[in-house]
Amino acid sequence: MTNNMFSKTLFISNVSNEDSGNYTCIASNRVANTSYSTILNVQVLPKWVISPMDTEAIVGQKVVMNCVASGQSRVWWERSEVA
């Protein structure tokens, strides 16, 4: 944070998801206090927590294939034809 009597600048180095949230700047003097809030929303890249694995099955058998990603990711399956 840079300091001067009439302004403040907040610097966050190496931003992480935990830095997301509401931040409030407050100004105060002998007459009154005032504040303004803003939101920091940190965007996180998707990362595999559980990656899909090749699976074999017998006709009529039940198959379960899992994949889990972090980073507030939307995850879905698509099927492509086997060459």
Band of pLDDT at residue 1, cut at 50, 70 and 90: low
Band of pLDDT at residue 72, cut at 50, 70 and 90: confident
Summarised one tens digit per residue, pLDDT across range 23-50 is: 999 999 999 999 999 999 999 899 999 9
Question: Is the pLDDT reported for residue 12 higher than 90?
Answer: yes
Query: In the prediction, which pLDDT does 73 show?
Result: 85
Tokens 């090749």 locate to: 54
CA pair distance 39, 51, nearest whole angstrom: 33
Domain spans of the chain, in order of start: 2-40
* pLDDT above 90 as % of the chain: 75
CA atoms within 13 A on the CB side of 7: 2
